[in-house]
Structure 1
């Protein structure tokens, strides 16, 4: 579930029909080898210097990294054969274009004196090939491309981080992005930025199908499995990254915090990856998790790693990853209400449906403190506890209101579901969702390990980091610079506090559910 963003890339309102709209309801009963680097043709051109020579923030930024001429459909598009690589590992690009040649430029997203990206690598004059039209698997309605690899990119010397590889047709007829994470092998002592490509792929309608929609625009013809072996349709190929993740990456890098980068898929695959991490960040739209990812994040929390949920509707869908011919974990499986038809489940795998429902119900609130409550809403964000450390330096008072900051999905504290205690509700925002009155909650809880868990309760949080204008517009949901200032400062407070170690040792939660909800 999501909404049109300030970049106008999503427009997925009809997808809400595939999920519970307003109301949580009640608790339910209880690898293929990768190619070697492409050495043919001109040597890659690199910009800047190695990461160990200067901090990333001090390197020159690129003013021209954004797509300005996407061109017509099919002008150029592509995908990477891995969602993430370690620095120095090759990644294969599968590109389709009718043009004779194109250029690939790798941009690292961050903070470069105010610029959001810098150029790290470039390859010109790559021969173009028009790849075959996709086909659809009859059983699962999965879009399959079968595209051949166009070139392999050597990531030697690339710093860890979030990347967009931009494809430019050399005759100027079109541009597209391919997202990539250059991941961290070690996260100890660092704040971990955990990208959510499984959620990007769930909403990806390239080829006419997503986990929400098919040709009829609804559940009946949607995919039961979706694959990373296809381009992203939204935001010129960037998926949901630019709206729900890039603003946070930029802010975190501006703060100069020790950062590590990974994806939810890597966290699922590597049980020890988060060992010793200071904090884990779940960004603006992080809906689709595997049980393995959740277990590994919970284990890190229980060992003292802080967790920040900077969105809403997090960890709502339970998924399974399966391989494709290009490698492991290239398919996202989520049968949702049709879980009983899933051959994997019949063979013993957990049901790929909502975490909160059976079989195997495990409501997300046990990890998050809050639980998804509804869609769609557009409401003011209302401060409840202005003296809380998260609001330090904001100057807010009790009842301070920030129009449109709550939306389009929201979370709340709901003790009918498992809820860690002590927990503080620090913003308690009235909402009306399809005629039902409720609240969106920003909440903070701590546990004996010392870990602190902070959840914003609104999906617009990360987007609002980019709200700098004098007044909100329809393009950015009406969120204005005043809300932007609040969100930037609160996020900075949370990131700095969480980077310092287990927040519960210095900032223990003071339970206030009695005052807010009348619950003891």
Structure 2
């Protein structure tokens, strides 16, 4: 099967990228297509491709393959996600992508979708390992899950392909959610369809990132169907382009925008403070701090080992890569987005809220986001989808004399946060007779950060979180946070409540 990668992921019309490829077929067919509500082919050509080995440690050092060709972005190519498909003589196809940004000085949409490309890099295990795990050793059973997780790498190359199911899964790839509640004394499971996974040799990490047939794609299909115009940027563009957000009224995040660099965070903070609006239809948002090196060719993401494994962090802790909520950074993510995964967690995954309702219970029916939704106190939305699942963000909660939930302002959670809806979530699986299915987290670290203690009692408290839908004013701007990865599936299903709430947010925020 062929394989390919580009030397850069985002370009403007008139700019060029190099396509690096390997195939046993000397001639392959290259097709590029903008993917949104439909698939719009913009380029086809024959490409001569050599057969190149994948070098050792390609995961951290890159493949080093020669360029098979260069492609110039057409002047008439619309902003969007462009699938790069390379097909060999046997009909086997490899996929990569580029993000086409609007032309410099050209017309702009009112809103920009920032693609969660940092999350994609974190999960990329081409060549062996990712920031999570030595995935190839795990899938070949050469290592157990704990052994494979111990061999995760913290420095990753962007100059390599992506695994097929991570980047370009078929439309029937199952969601990362248990679609029904666990039955009485039924063994727990962790999303998906075991038969599908076996048939496609799916890794535990393939569903957690990527555009095609996943969260961002579903959102774009819906938005284009509604006539909503969007421009596109990648996470890295916010790192390297000062003022990239200046032309926009609204920034949109969708799905799983988990990894933010320091430059990206500063760009979004500045955007909000000067009056921009941030619409977060994502879960586990801005959880990990990452760093870029070598002009975007090297991505640094040490996660839990962010200080002891990183010589840069040893010299300057502020440059480390760890939880954004870590006290070394003095800038927890909730200060920007209002919520945090440390106060949220999983829902309908393994034993985490395995019999959870899968939807939001509404508390503030008078909130502006619910206008025209025919919703009232105690109503539940999205339970049949399910709307709440996989990863969800929350905040510490208390109840006032009015009977409504209110935030406890700590670890960056703003005092002026308005909580609209809630659902239980858990940061990890509680001890049980069942085999654990969610990779173990460092509960002691989370408990220390979230609750000021690593005691067993604080770790137990960490297991009791919430998914939260909320909004707040930040500087001269405003933030709406849907608090869950699964919001786009409500739009895919044409759920009337999710659709109306999304339109209310985008209208208020000047996106339409």
Pick the TM interval, shorter chain. Answer: 0.7 to 0.9
2:472 counterpart (438, 442, 445): 445
Match of 1:163 in 2: 82
2:327 counterpart (355, 358, 370): 358
Match of 1:430 in 2: 424
Rounded to whole Å, the distance in 1 between the matches of 2:64 and 2:87 is 22
Q: Do the aligned partners of residues 467 and 258 (structure 1) sit closer, same or farther apart at CA in structure 2, a change above 3 Å counting? A: closer
* Correspondences of 1:82-97 after superposition (within 5 Å): 82-97=8-23
Q: Cα deviation per residue 1:60-94 (whole Å; 9 max; x = unaligned)?
A: xxxxxxxxxxxxxxx12211110101111111111
Rounded to whole Å, the distance in 2 between the matches of 1:183 and 1:410 is 29
Q: Do the aligned partners of residues 397 and 143 (structure 1) sit closer, same or farther apart at CA in structure 2, a change above 3 Å counting? A: farther
Given the two structures, how large is their TM-score scaled by the length of structure 1? 0.72
Match of 2:98 in 1: 180
Rounded to whole Å, the distance in 2 between the matches of 1:426 and 1:495 is 17
1:237 matched to 2:167? The reply is yes
The gaps in structure 2 that reach 5 residues or longer are 138-142, 169-208, 349-355, 397-408, 431-462
1:132 counterpart (46, 49, 53): 53
Q: Aligned residues, how many?
A: 398
Deviation at 1:132, TM superposition (A): 1.3
Q: Do the aligned partners of residues 234 and 398 (structure 1) sit closer, same or farther apart at CA in structure 2, a change above 3 Å counting? A: farther
Match of 1:384 in 2: 363
The 8 Å contact of residues 222 and 492 in structure 2, kept in 1 or not, is answered as no
1:411 matched to 2:393? The reply is yes
Match of 2:337 in 1: 368
Q: Cα deviation per residue 1:406-429 (whole Å; 9 max; x = unaligned)?
A: 121111123332222422111111
2:374 counterpart (395, 398, 405): 395
1:460 counterpart (486, 491, 495): 486
Deviation at 1:188, TM superposition (A): 6.8
Rounded to whole Å, the distance in 2 between the matches of 1:417 and 1:411 is 13
Match of 2:233 in 1: 262
Match of 2:309 in 1: 341
Deviation at 1:165, TM superposition (A): 1.4
Rounded to whole Å, the distance in 1 between the matches of 2:167 and 2:66 is 18
Rounded to whole Å, the distance in 2 between the matches of 1:485 and 1:167 is 39
The 8 Å contact of residues 234 and 240 in structure 1, kept in 2 or not, is answered as no
1:493 matched to 2:504? The reply is yes
Rounded to whole Å, the distance in 1 between the matches of 2:391 and 2:166 is 24
1:223 counterpart (153, 169, 173): 153
Rounded to whole Å, the distance in 2 between the matches of 1:360 and 1:446 is 23
1:246 counterpart (217, 238, 245): 217
Rounded to whole Å, the distance in 1 between the matches of 2:298 and 2:496 is 39
1:149 counterpart (57, 67, 70): 67
Q: Do the aligned partners of residues 303 and 176 (structure 1) sit closer, same or farther apart at CA in structure 2, a change above 3 Å counting? A: same
Deviation at 1:233, TM superposition (A): 0.9
Rounded to whole Å, the distance in 1 between the matches of 2:387 and 2:374 is 18
Rounded to whole Å, the distance in 2 between the matches of 1:269 and 1:432 is 36
Match of 2:28 in 1: 102
Q: Do the aligned partners of residues 132 and 467 (structure 1) sit closer, same or farther apart at CA in structure 2, a change above 3 Å counting? A: same
1:487 partner SS? helix
The gaps in structure 1 that reach 5 residues or longer are 1-74, 469-483, 502-520
The 8 Å contact of residues 344 and 426 in structure 2, kept in 1 or not, is answered as no
The 8 Å contact of residues 109 and 231 in structure 2, kept in 1 or not, is answered as no
Match of 1:32 in 2: none
The 8 Å contact of residues 421 and 446 in structure 1, kept in 2 or not, is answered as no
Q: Cα deviation per residue 1:203-223 (whole Å; 9 max; x = unaligned)?
A: 111112000101344432111
The 8 Å contact of residues 344 and 425 in structure 2, kept in 1 or not, is answered as no
Given the two structures, how large is their TM-score scaled by the length of structure 2? 0.73
2:112 counterpart (192, 203, 219): 192
Moved more, 330-339 or 222-231: 330-339
Deviation at 1:153, TM superposition (A): 1.0
